[in-house]
Amino acid sequence: MLQPTLPNFQLTARELEVVKLLAIGCTYSQIAERLGISAHTVGSHVKNAYRKLEVRSAAAAVFRVLSIGRMS
């Protein structure tokens, strides 16, 4: 029997890191401070991650990443 495969969304390491920080409730400003980047750059990473994951919210992005087992 064939097992369905989950798509490989190809998030960059930084995009995944930003999604993980969103998952624990960090704001864009907090993420920027932790990573040493601007809040604008955080927004760019979030936008790119949402596009790749085909979602429109942080909750949906976290759920999608969890569903493909990439949060750990």
Q: What is the pLDDT of residue 1?
A: 45
Tokens 């029997």 correspond to: 1
Tens digit of pLDDT for each residue in 1-42? 444 444 567 899 999 999 999 999 999 999 999 999 999 999
Q: What is the pLDDT of residue 39?
A: 98
Domains of the chain (ranges; CATH) run 13-67 (1.10.10.10)
Q: What is the pTM of this model?
A: 0.83
Q: Which of 7, 2, 22, 1 lies closest to 54, judged by CA?
A: 7
Tens digit of pLDDT for each residue in 42-57? 999 999 999 999 999 9
